[in-house]
């Protein structure tokens, strides 16, 4: 892999993540490897912030956990930059290495000893009165949900102009296979292997118990319509759990496979099912 500059990003206001970022930067400098950093890391190190890490890095090292990696995937989504995730003690589904093994993982990547694991992303577009309110690429999910005191909401689901169903529920999750182990799993949706070409629709607390998750091919575009008569109080669209937008009755959400993928760097010794066994504590009594 041809890597000229390595970008270091980390969770803001996390002293542990900042300290690990500083350690990795020092290690890279000793090996004469050029690195780029975020502005808050520069402030922590009392360095001048120069080049844009998102536009120029050939590899991103995301320190802090799955949330930091999701941010890295969103901000670098149109460049197909490989990402190495490092977690701070709590094993994530996406963050690859523990803090004591970050330097060794970078060394292995530079020696072409890591696997490029490509993950499908979705493009989610919120439309109101034929105007685009928001558009973002997501690695995990797009979620419509209501606040604690809001009434149950009604959502129509269409796929390529074909009507599928109408949900009356607390909300709806549209998940990528990568995101199937996130909010989708907590809402009793299925675990889907990351490389299966699928869009997963899972209702949140549906009014009708027979309403279950639907797995669709990701070659289709899903259109979600919020009932025009619904109260717009406390109903939100949340993208990858990081950005939220208030919704109104009649709003449409279009979800389709994005033209870019997230590239996660993975050790050959670590596979998806090993992560599931560890994280979900399978086989434990």
Q: Which residues are catalytically annotated?
A: 66
Q: Residue holding tokens 């439309």?
A: 127
Contact status, residue 181 vs residue 168, Cβ threshold 8 Å? no
Distance in angstroms (rounded) separating the CA atoms of residues 180 and 188 = 10
The rounded distance, in Å, linking the Cα atoms of 195 and 176 is 10
Q: How far is residue 13's CA from residue 127's CA, in Å, rounded to a whole number?
A: 34
Task: Tell me which H or E stretch contains 109.
Answer: helix 102-110
From CA 8, how far away is CA 63, in angstroms rounded?
A: 8
The span from the CA of 281 to the CA of 198, in Å, is 25
């Amino acid at each position: 892999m041809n890597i000229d500059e390595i970008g270091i990003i980390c969770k803001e206001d996390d002293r542990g993540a900042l300290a690990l970022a500083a350690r990795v930067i020092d290690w890279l400098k000793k090996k004469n490897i050029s690195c780029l950093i975020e502005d808050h890391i520069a402030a922590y190190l009392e360095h001048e912030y120069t080049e844009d890490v998102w536009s120029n890095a050939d590899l991103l090292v995301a320190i802090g956990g799955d949330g930091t990696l999701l941010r890295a995937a969103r901000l670098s989504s149109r460049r197909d930059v490989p990402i190495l995730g490092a977690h701070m003690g709590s094993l994530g589904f996406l963050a690859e290495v523990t803090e004591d093994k970050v330097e060794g993982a970078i060394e292995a990547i530079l020696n072409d000893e890591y696997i490029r694991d490509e993950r499908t992303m979705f493009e989610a577009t919120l439309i109101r009165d034929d105007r685009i309110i928001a558009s973002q690429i997501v690695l995990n999910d797009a979620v419509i949900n209501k606040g604690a005191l809001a009434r149950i909401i009604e959502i129509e689901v269409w796929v390529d102009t074909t009507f599928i169903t109408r949900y009356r529920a607390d909300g709806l999750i549209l998940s990528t296979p990568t995101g199937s182990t996130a909010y989708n799993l907590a809402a009793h949706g299925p675990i889907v292997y990351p490389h299966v070409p699928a869009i997963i629709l899972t209702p949140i607390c549906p009014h009708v118990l027979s309403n279950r998750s639907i797995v669709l091919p990701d070659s289709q575009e899903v259109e979600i319509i919020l009932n025009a008569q619904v109260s717009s109080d406390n109903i939100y669209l949340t993208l990858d759990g990081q950005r939220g937008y208030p919704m109104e009755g009649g709003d449409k959400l279009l979800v389709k496979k994005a033209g870019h993928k997230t590239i996660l760097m993975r050790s050959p010794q670590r596979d998806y099912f090993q992560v599931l066994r560890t994280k979900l504590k399978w086989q434990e009594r």
